[in-house]
Amino acid sequence: MPAEKGVKIDLSSEYPCPCRRAGRLNPIALTEAFGCDRCQHIFIVQDNYQQLQQISGASPYKRGWRWNGRRWLPLHSRWGELFLPMMLGITIVLIAVWLPLILQASVEGTVLFWVLVAVLLALLPALIVWLAYWRS
């Protein structure tokens, strides 16, 4: 899928905050930067007014976005690339660990219990990864 071309960021306009907190980005006077009125982060404009980069915050990783005219699109997000391999790896490990336990169970009631435990343990990491992906 080709990347959408970014729209040039106007330093005199107001934009929604890309941090998903319903804040507004307001231009900072005499700079090429914006400040959010809700999350208090500071963002600078880069790459010929095409990208916005967060320069404040506790995270050591720089986050960047591109404005498409309606919303901010994240730059360099690798979660989409890593999500499927991580979930497949977790599922394979859980099957390798739980399958022998289920096959050794002699009573049918315990088989259902072990299957339910395995499903719950498979869903927990998936939920954690999904929440981390949604939050970033």
Euclidean distance between CA atoms 53 and 124, whole angstroms: 32
pLDDT of amino acid 96: 80
CA angle 14, 11, 25 (to 5 degrees): 35
pLDDT of amino acid 77: 60
The residue whose two tokens read 């391999």 is: 85
pLDDT, average across residues 21-48: 89
Q: What is the 3-state secondary structure (H, E, C) of 98-112?
A: HHHHHHHCCCHHHHH
Identify residue 31 by its one-letter amino acid code: T
Distances (CA, A) of 126 to 16, 20, 68, 71, 96: 30, 22, 30, 27, 17
In the chain the first and final C-alpha atoms are separated, in Å, by: 22
pLDDT in tens, 73-99: 888 766 666 777 777 787 788 778 777
